[in-house]
Each structure stands twice: as C-alpha cells, then as structure tokens.
Structure 1
Amino acid sequence: MWAALQACFRFPEGKRKEDAKKFAMIILGTAFRNFRHTLYKDYAKKGLSPKIKFGKIPDAMWEDFKLMKETAEAKALSEKMTEKAQKAAENPHHLGAGGYDGKIPHWRREEEERRKAGLPDLFEGIPECGKYWCLARRPRYREGKVVFEKPTTAKIYERLAQIVDAEKQGLFHPDREKDQLTAVIGTVEHSGRVRGVSSSLPWKQAFPNDPGYRKHDRSKKDFEEKMREIAKEEFSQLLASQQGSLVPNTAQANQEVIVAQSGLIAPSSVGSMTHHKYLVDDIQVDTPYMLVVPYGRKLNKFREVATAMAVTGHVFPRPPAPEYAWVQVVKVMDSTCELDIATDDGIEVLGDALNQYVQWHR
C-alpha cells in the first residue's frame, strides 16, 4: 500500500521518507478502521449486504468479516470502545475543522473586548490549556457566572478554580503533562496531544522548557506511582479477606502509603526504638508499604523487593531491634533477598517469609 502511495508524490532532497511513511500509515490505519466500522454498523449489524456500494468486497471475505465481528473478543472490544466514546461524549467540544488553532485567536479577541468593557475575567488564574478546553465547550455568561450545557463540564470548571487556589497555597504542583486540567478531569493525557492546545502536538513541543522534567526521573516517578497503585489494590484485597467486616478505613490507609527511600518506617504500635520520631509513628490503621533495599556503587539507589503491611493491632513477641520495624510480608518480588534478622523459625530470605512477620530496616 505504501509502495503505491509514494508513487503519487515527489519528496524533496534530504527529506526522510521514513517520516512520511509513518504519517501516511497512521492516516491509512485511521481510514481503514473507520471503513470497517462503517461496514459493521451500516451493513453487518443490520443484516444487509454491502455489494451495492462496495461491490469489490469478495463474498468469502465478507463472511469472514461478519464471523469475526461475532466473536467474544470482538464484542468485548466493542463494548470497551463504546464506554470510552460515551465518556468522551460527556464533555463534547465544538471546534470545527480548524481545531484549537482556529479558535484561539477568536477567543483572545473576545477576552480583550471583555477587558476593555470592564467586564470581569471569569477564567482569571486558570492556565490557558484549561481555559481553552472550557471555551471549546461553549460556555454561556449569565449574571456574572459561567454556565455550561453539560453538568460534567461545569464540574470540571469549578474544580479548575479550586485547584488554582490549591496551587497558590502550595497544595498542588503541576508536573508537565500532569497539569491542572489533567488533575481535575482524572484521566491521564495521551502522548502526542495536549488537552486544550492540540490533538496532534507532541509533548516535546508543548512543554519545551519544563524545568523539572528529565526523562529518567519521570520514568522512575511513574514506576513508583504504578507500584503504589498496585500495592494499594493488593492490600485492600488482603484486608478484606483477613478481617471481613472489620476492614479498617482503607481510604485513610491508602493516603498513608509511603515508599521510604531508606526502607520501611515503623508504625506507632511497633514504633522506633530510637529517640527520632518518624512521620508515620502516629498511624492508627494497618498501613501498606514497599520494602526496598539499597544498591549501586554508592548504595544511593533503591529497588523494591516486596510489599508488606505494618500491622497496628498485633502483639509481637518482643520489641523490634533499633532502627527496625515489624511487618507482615504480603507479596515478594525478590525471593532471594536476605533478611537482616532471621525469624524465630529460622527464615532467612524473603521467599520463605510470605505472610510471615519479619523485622525490616526502616
């Protein structure tokens, strides 16, 4: 297909054909998906034949297409994409063919006219991407307030104002694509686009001068956040299975999940044996943690080897050693990792300590 397509174009000297091929294949893929969707929605789903309009489709290929669309995998994918489309339809935009680029100059002129007329700026303090995202949803101005057709859009506008106040108080810090708009919408930004700016603008161009971004640091931070989410889900399931109706306030426990860079920090009931007080010494509920060990030439890097629970209500046979805490091992990622202090049963490695209480360096 690419061979036939490139024969229709002439490429300037020094220009990479690979870039043109990549872009062309993206467009072709989108067109092909839309074509298949039309075939299923307008013909296969209604029991009609596409012969009149698409006479070149072989009968055998059409029958295979209909059978494929009836498989469990195809139906599950269709339901998933329908849910995604319905969620997107909660806040539909009205931009036209020009996208944000075609609307932003118009919005800026309107903003200047309102300023000259002495009217209040109802988007004051809201970053441009958030402001333009809201303007693309056709707000109305009534009695000095912004009104939207969709309640979900109105809620996002309210949250934007709230998060701007939180940022002023130092309670929120935007982090490149994890900005105010992404935080209030609640879904991560897709690479290759920027909400409120463009549907085809790469992050590298959208955030060229972000002072706090380094690819390695971002990857590490994203990995840690993903591990926290996995740990919170596992611990919630563990608490539910072990304690039944006596499950503690998991929302409070989730807020206290901390990856300690030097190991596990002791909870209050098995607190520090030193005079130093740690941030989580006052926790009142069972709290999940990541167990980490140092590595590297300077031992200044850390890797996760297990997840564990600091249990507040358990009576341990003896106080923990100085700078250690009692924890219950829930999931092991490195079964060969040796324990600093063997258990009374002679367990010396994490692989043998699953669901057991061990002492771990804080």
Structure 2
Amino acid sequence: MNGRRRLWLASGLAVLLVIGVVLAVVLTRSGQTTAGPTPSSVSASATATPSATKKASTPPPAPAAPAPPTIANLPAAPMNILVIGSDSRENAHQEADQTATTGVASDQRSDCLMLIHVPADRHLVYGISIMRDTWINVPGYGTTKVNAGLGLGGIDLTTRTVESMFGIHIDHTVMLDFHGFKLLTDGLGGIDVNVPQDFTSTIETQHHFTAGVNHLDGQAALEFVRERHAFADGDYTRVRDQQIFMRALLSKLSTSLKEPATVLALVNFAANDLTVDGGFNPVSVAILAYGMRTIDPAASVFFTLPNAGPGTSSDGQSIIIPDYGAIAAVGAAVRDDTLAQYAAAHGF
C-alpha cells in the first residue's frame, strides 16, 4: 500500500443522481414546442394573392406539445445498492475496466463501502457503512481487508464480496473517485455541513473546520470525509463525519434537483464521472429514479456495521475484527426488509 488517504462517497448519491436523470428527461421533453410555421401554413402564405377586398386566411392552430414520457412503476419490492468510494487519483473507471478485462490487479482500494437498502414502501433509505479494514473473506482470494476487492477484481468482485458477507443480493453498484467527488460537490454550489467539533485537516490544504455549520466546496468536502489522523479514534470518527456529510448531501440534492440547470448538470456528471454496473442502463435508471420520488431524506437512517474492534492480522496488518453475529443480523434484516426494527432495537 502507498499510504494514500481514502475516499468515501455519501450513500445517497446513488439514489438521488438517478432522480436527476429522469427529471432531466421529463423537463426537457415536456418543454418542447413546435417552433416556426407548419408546412401547411407555409404553403398557404406562399400561394395566396394579396387583395384589398379579401381577408387574410387564418392559419391552422399549431399542434399541441408532446406529452411527457410515461415511466413504468418500479415493482413494490426492496432494493439494495452498493456505493463504492475509490481512492484512485487517476480514473477509477478505467482502472476497474482494465482489471476486469486483463485480470491484472490495479492500485486502488474501495476504502469506503456503503450498502444502501431501499425498503419496499420507498419512504426512506438505510445506509450501512462497512469499515474499510474489515477482515473478511474476498471470494477467490481468501481472508483480507474488504477494501482490497476493488483492486483485485474490480467492482464485480467487490459486489460479490459484500453479497457473500451479508448473504444478500445487490441489485446495482456505483463507484466514484476523488475527482468525481469534488466535481459533484462544486456542481451543487457547495454543501452546508454541521461539523460536530473543531479540527484542522492533515490533508492537502489543511482546511480548518469550526464546530457548527460550514459551507464546504469540493476540496474542503473531500478533506472532511477523508480525515482520520486528527481524531483519537481515527476511522471511527471519520465514518461518523462521512455519515454527517451524506445527510447534508441528501438535503442539498433534494432541493437542488428542482432547478433544471442543476438537474442537467448532474445528468452530465453521472454520464462522465460515475461508474456503474453493466445492468444499470438508462431505462433501468429512469425506472429506479421515478420509483424513488417518495423518499424522505430527513427520515433516512445511516449506521456503521457493528464490529469487534481493531486488531492485528497474522501478517501484521492493522485490521477491524468482524462481528459475525452482527453481520448475520444485519444481513437477515436486509433480506427480510426489517431494517426499521433492527435500527430501532439498536438505537440507530
């Protein structure tokens, strides 16, 4: 490992970006009108003879604007989406493609993994953070850190790893890197984040954060979600801050997506800076986005997958020891769509 800091992407991104896609389609198409004269009116005006004794003919009415496209309703069933934050400073999409094509490992890690569970009623979402150093079985590679799967086998291997951890099926996977994270934040005009405590980042610009609401641009936001060395408990506080940022991002997106210019900017962002699994085509994106229209970001619940604390592997690596009982309980709640009861019982 080269010691680079790692990126976590706010979990709500997967859900709300697709909302932007479908809104852009509706807004663009419903705004189309017939411009200029119709063929019939052009013909009539070209052949008419001016006369002082005749009234000008009345052109036929312009045809009505086309109706907005209809979108199929999403089946009333729960859905699981895996969000990956890549630590790549280059192009995470190209690196993952190369790994998938050649089988040669790449130098990137999924140092943030967030499992998003969307219940069947579509009222809210649950975000489950998996700590990057969790010592778990990666299919085909044995026991290692969960974040190693991305470099070893791309997003497909990472997806299979999380599926095998929880005993669940993941419907879709999305991934973002450093550049895309900053681009998203800046594209939204920055995000207001309620910072719990004063601290100064140890990363890049060493941005100082004050307790209370801070308006963060892309660079400051990246330092906020990456920072761990400024805290006594390292990754645990970092994960907490990531969840705080995620809530702020959800709130920003829920209001910003009402503006057509912002919607279209997010569509362009999604097309160029978001890596998705092969089955996530435009039709499925539109259907998913329309099905998410009832979600309330403020009611959504986010928590870190319980673990047995830090430890050391047999080869000397610093790891997070998995709590297999907790993993099994969370997996069962995801499968049974009973995360509301699980979260309430554990105070999340």
- TM-score w.r.t. the length of structure 2 is 0.22
- TM-score w.r.t. the length of structure 1 is 0.21
Higher strand residue share: 2
